[in-house]
């Protein structure tokens, strides 16, 4: 029988706890959904390209990617992207990028926020 593995990245565990705490405090389910996606194994987390974000996002909206943003495509809209990780090419293409922690502090109610997985 395989032994169970657990997450050892202390920063990730802290983020998940903070997301769940804010979800309960503000009574907003979006942060709980992000936490559940980040609890998944790394290979099952979202890897989202920029063209997909551009396709589904609306202007002046916050986009959360509970995984990694990849650099295929371009962003033509005025959006803010928060993700757990960004690839090097995505970092150079995205102007308004932030970590999920920054978005959580900036917008605890989750207004105008969309999860893309």
Whether this prediction's pTM lies above 0.85 is answered by yes
The set of residues, in sequence order, having a beta carbon less than 8 Å from that of 52 and lying 6+ positions away, is 73, 116
Structural domains of the chain in order of their starting residue, each with its CATH number: 10-115 (3.100.10.10)
Lowest-confidence region among 7-11, 22-26, 92-96? 7-11
Q: Decide: 69 and 94 in contact? Cβ < 8 Å.
A: yes
Per DSSP, what are the bridge partners of residue 49? 70
pLDDT tens track for 29-72: 999 999 999 999 999 999 999 999 999 999 999 999 999 999 99
């Amino acid at each position: 029988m395989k032994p169970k593995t657990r997450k050892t990245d202390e920063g990730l565990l802290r983020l998940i706890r903070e997301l769940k705490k804010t979800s309960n405090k503000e009574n907003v389910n979006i942060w709980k959904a992000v936490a559940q996606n980040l609890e998944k194994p790394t290979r099952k987390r979202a890897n989202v390209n920029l063209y997909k974000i551009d396709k589904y996002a609306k202007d002046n909206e916050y986009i959360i990617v509970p995984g990694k943003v990849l650099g295929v495509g371009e962003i033509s809209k005025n959006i803010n992207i928060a993700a757990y990780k960004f690839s090097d090419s995505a970092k150079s293409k995205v102007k308004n990028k932030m970590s999920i922690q920054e978005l959580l502090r900036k917008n605890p109610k989750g207004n105008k926020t969309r999860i893309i997985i």
